[in-house]
Amino acid sequence: MVIVMKAGATAAEIASVIKHVESLGFRAHLSEGEERTIIGMVGDERPIDPSSLEVLSGVERVLPILRPFKLASRDFKKQNTVIHLRVKQRTITIGNSEIAMMAGPCAVESREQILETARLVREAGATILRGGAFKPRTSPYSFQGHGEIALEWLAEAREAYGLAIVTEVMSPEQVPLVAKYADILQVGARNMQNFALLHAVGEARKPVLLKRGLSATMEELLMAAEYILSHGNYEVMLCERGIRTFEKYTRNTLDINAVPVLKQLSHLPVIVDPSHGTGKWEYVIPVSRAAIAAGADGLIVEVHPNPAEAWSDGAQSLTPQNYRVLVEQVRRVAAAVDRAL
């Protein structure tokens, strides 16, 4: 960390800060500028709370130097993390040159609905089925998901169509249950900093799809991944699903920059969710093309056999026909950046 002293800081204040820095086990490195004295702390600053240094007499502010994440960083691991899913003899890989195609309804509404959607997205080219059994809803009066029975229907769809399953887990005690049925555990945007949940999925032995919080920075997303990695689960996918901005014509603002930035800073696969990232089905196809052009490793897209009848997220769900169009267009863009579906 670099400690910036106030303009009028006295020699006694500077000496006292140096003494404090040394008492924490760091070397202090003094640099006197024309207007400000700055003190560098030499050592691994990550366990130190910069806030406690700001309160020292004569200190103006404290600037961290190191990125706070370690295991999630490219400094730590140079090669891309590649995740392998085994489904009925087939292996689906995520994070190499192949684009992962995840698709399905917002919520599992019935056995028929999920089986039909599974068939349709499989035919269109998806390899992973999404669908919520436990639904985080802003209102206590909205449908909260069918729970375990929906997990069973998902497992049935897995068997029937050879699709891997990604589904959300909402609390630590649900982890064993969901892990029994799912190939990928999804941590939702509202739970990105639910540390008890991150801890629990970190101890599970299933890949995790970690969604970026509604107004989380990429650093916070990477720190949330760090929680999972630090508990021993190294198979984490980072999911950009749009952030909250002032814009009202779209539900969220998909942060396309996040794709190259996360790929540069981290070795973890980056998945894009254009359905939540835009909130309107008309924009899902062009934004999916953009995600792949920017270098994303996969897409997770909401598809419903009949969006007008969807119990949630109808406006952002594609019809199966439109999903087929999406797959074809994405295939062409993927080829233009030397990748394949």
Helix (H) / strand (E) containing 187 = strand 184-187
Is residue 22 a contact point for a second copy (CB under 8 A)?
Answer: no
Stretch that binds a second copy, among 82-90, 95-103, 108-116, 172-180 (CB under 8 A): 172-180
Q: Considering only CA atoms, which of 226, 254, 261 is closest in space to residue 240?
A: 254
Classify residue 30 by its DSSP letter.
E
Query: Is the Cβ of residue 156 or residue 220 nearer to a second copy in the bound state?
Result: 220
Query: Is the Cβ of residue 36 or residue 180 nearer to a second copy in the bound state?
Result: 36
Asked if 46 and 65 touch (Cβ cutoff 8 Å), the reply is no
Is residue 231 a contact point for a second copy (CB under 8 A)?
Answer: yes
Phi, psi of 202 (to 5 degrees): -65, -25
Is residue 325 a contact point for a second copy (CB under 8 A)?
Answer: no
Among 13, 80, 93, 136, binds a second copy (CB under 8 A): 136
* Rounded least distance, CB 163 to a second copy, Å: 25
Is residue 283 a contact point for a second copy (CB under 8 A)?
Answer: yes
Asked if 151 and 106 touch (Cβ cutoff 8 Å), the reply is no
Is residue 65 a contact point for a second copy (CB under 8 A)?
Answer: yes
Is residue 46 a contact point for a second copy (CB under 8 A)?
Answer: yes
Provide the token pair at 50. Answer: 């910069």
Is residue 24 a contact point for a second copy (CB under 8 A)?
Answer: no
Is residue 145 a contact point for a second copy (CB under 8 A)?
Answer: no
# residues near a second copy by CB under 8 A: 114
Among 13, 77, 293, 324, binds a second copy (CB under 8 A): 293
Half-sphere exposure of 237 (CA within 13 A, CB side): 34
Q: In Å, how far are 28, 264, 280, 294 from 289, measured between CA atoms?
A: 50, 20, 15, 9
Residue 107 CA to residue 145 CA, distance in Å, equals 7
Asked if 73 and 51 touch (Cβ cutoff 8 Å), the reply is no
* Rounded least distance, CB 312 to a second copy, Å: 5
Among 11, 35, 205, 340, binds a second copy (CB under 8 A): 35
The SS3 of residue 221 is helix
Among 58, 104, 131, 307, binds a second copy (CB under 8 A): 307
Chain centroid to CA 9: how far?
A: 43
Query: Is the Cβ of residue 81 or residue 278 nearer to a second copy in the bound state?
Result: 278
End-to-end CA distance of the chain, in Å?
44
Residues in region 87-126 near a second copy by CB under 8 A: none
Stretch that binds a second copy, among 79-87, 117-125, 153-161, 171-179 (CB under 8 A): 171-179
